[in-house]
Amino acid sequence: MVKTKQYHLSNLLDTYEHIIARCTLIEEVSQAVNFIPNTRIIIKDDVLFYEQEFVQKKNSRLISIDKKYQLLNEFASNLDSLQSFNFVHGDINSSNVLYNGKILYLIDLEPSFRQRKFGKKIVTSAVPLRSLSDIKNKNLSVETDKIGYYLYGMRLIGKPLQFPNKRELSRQRKQGMEFLPIQERLFLQLSFKEIFEKFIKSLQGYC
């Protein structure tokens, strides 16, 4: 079974060359790793067809806390392995990370980080979830992936960071407000595995 999405090229705001390079990388990575479903991208006329192998989602709330730590540890190692491809997902969150009963899958790899939706130009990740550098540059990098992994991990183990007013948080983030456990600049120098070890695994036994 395949999940299909369609994009009009006019709504993908990166250059055509950049979109082609991104799509080629998505296909390459999906074939090289086991935690991203096989993905095929076809362009016909002015429409891009994104086809990704369907992953049957299981309820991650039913897993034991020890199993959750194991999954997050494995997921961190998998995300670190993507660095050899210089690959950025750009929007790691609970909608794009699926548990299939065995591992955590990363899905929905956007062909362009800058898009037009409902007549508005957007970056495909909410402002609060982006690194301060990415907010400033209106782009997405591995920095935003690291923040996404941390927030997802905290949510999975039952210690989610609470953001009651997302609009206000967006405004504050644009002004440089930080919310990570240490200075953001230092946090983003860590690997995914180090983020797991220092800030998620450290909570083991206290959930």
114-140 CB burial, b ≥16 within 10 A, e <16: bbeeeeeeebbbebbbbbbebbeeebb
pTM exceeds 0.75 for this model = yes
Residue 51 is which amino acid?
E
Q: Which element (helix H / strand E) includes 80? A: helix 65-81
Task: Give the closest residue to 80 by CA, choosing from 164, 169, 194.
Answer: 194
Residue 1 is which amino acid?
M
Supply the DSSP symbol for 127. Answer: G
Residue ranges, the chain, pLDDT below 70: 205-207
Contacts of 62 (CB under 8 A, 6+ apart): none
Q: Could you tell me the end-to-end alpha-carbon distance of the chain, in angstroms, rounded to an integer?
A: 37
| β-pair partners for 8 | 47
Task: Give the closest residue to 152 by CA, choosing from 102, 87, 107.
Answer: 107
Find out whether 67 and 96 touch, Cβ atoms under 8 Å: no
Residue range 67-92, pLDDT digits in tens = 999 999 999 999 999 999 999 999 99
> What pLDDT does residue 163 have?
87
Instruction: Say how far apart CA 135 and CA 107 lie, in whole Å.
Output: 23
